[in-house]
């Protein structure tokens, strides 16, 4: 909350006005069942990652009904959760914890996390782009498939020229994110080829090659 709002905000003293105040009951409230379930799910995923149990039900995050697999949460629920995870990453910048964002999210929705992380990083600083690229590299092949990365980054790659209007380093930032995915160069080239203009295609490919050489 901005400082001016904090200064102007008044603290209610009545315990009956429905808002926390000086006379409000100080007894800590137990966490909601949703919060508890999420923490339990992350702890299970953490244990699975440590032990290498990739068949753990939490990591696979699918349910079987009538012999058919289905996601445990809806796309709308996944989007809300992804938004929370991205916010947590910027607050804590903990890559170990960030791996659990992928581990505890249904595989069907992990491309959403890829997309949100990338787009959020592009709105921030270069260090933030490097952090997300490092996270991508950490989960690539284990918790995030090539298809997840391709789906999650395709829109960003296709609109990189538009992004460069507001983000001068958009090409190098997107290139770093692509390198972080550890996608084969042929896959990266395929993504670049989705760009409408040939000149931009080749420029992004050249930028990826340049960044791969640690310049």
Domain boundaries, the chain: 74-212
Tell me how far apart the alpha carbons of residues 117 and 122 are, in angstroms, rounded to a whole number. 9
What size, in residues, is the chain?
Answer: 215
Q: What is the CA radius of gyration of the chain?
A: 21
The pLDDT, as a whole number, for residue 45 is 54
The pLDDT, as a whole number, for residue 211 is 79
Percentage of the residues of the chain whose pLDDT score is greater than 70: 66
- What does the mean pLDDT of the chain come to? 77
158-181 average pLDDT score: 93
The pLDDT, as a whole number, for residue 72 is 77
Tell me how far apart the alpha carbons of residues 27 and 118 are, in angstroms, rounded to a whole number. 40
Read off the pLDDT band of 18 (50, 70, 90). very low
φ/ψ bin of 113: left (φ > 0), alpha (ψ from -120 to 50), beta (otherwise)? alpha
For the segment 191-205, what is each residue's pLDDT rounded down to a tens digit? 998 887 777 888 888
Q: Answer whether 171's CB lies under 8 Å from 207's CB.
A: yes
182-192 average pLDDT score: 92
Q: Answer whether 105's CB lies under 8 Å from 78's CB.
A: yes
Phi, psi of 144 (to 5 degrees): -145, 125
Q: Which residues pair with 65 in a beta bridge?
A: 68
55-79 average pLDDT score: 59
- Cite the DSSP H helix spans in 55-109: 57-60, 75-92, 95-103
Q: Which CATH architecture has domain 74-212?
A: Alpha Horseshoe (1.25)
How does DSSP classify residue 29? P
Q: Is the pLDDT of residue 128 over 70?
A: yes
């Amino acid at each position: 909350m901005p400082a001016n709002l904090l200064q102007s905000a008044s603290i209610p003293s009545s315990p009956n006005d429905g808002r926390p105040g000086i006379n409000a009951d100080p007894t800590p409230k137990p966490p909601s069942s949703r919060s508890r379930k999420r923490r339990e799910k992350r702890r299970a995923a953490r244990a699975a990652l440590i032990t290498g149990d990739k068949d753990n039900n939490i990591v696979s995050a699918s349910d079987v009904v009538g012999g058919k697999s289905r996601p445990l949460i809806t796309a709308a629920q996944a989007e809300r959760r992804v938004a929370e995870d991205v916010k947590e990453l910027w607050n804590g910048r903990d890559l170990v914890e960030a791996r659990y964002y992928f581990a505890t999210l249904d595989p069907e929705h992990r491309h959403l996390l890829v997309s949100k992380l990338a787009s959020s990083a592009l709105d921030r600083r270069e260090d933030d782009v490097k952090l997300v690229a490092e996270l991508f590299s950490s989960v690539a092949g284990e918790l995030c498939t090539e298809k997840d990365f391709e789906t999650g980054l395709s829109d960003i790659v296709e609109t990189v020229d538009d992004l460069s209007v507001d983000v001068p380093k958009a090409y190098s930032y997107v290139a770093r994110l692509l390198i972080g995915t550890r996608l084969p160069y042929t896959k990266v080239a395929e993504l670049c080829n989705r760009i409408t203009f040939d000149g931009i295609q080749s420029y992004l490919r050249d930028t990826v090659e340049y960044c791969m050489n640690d310049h």
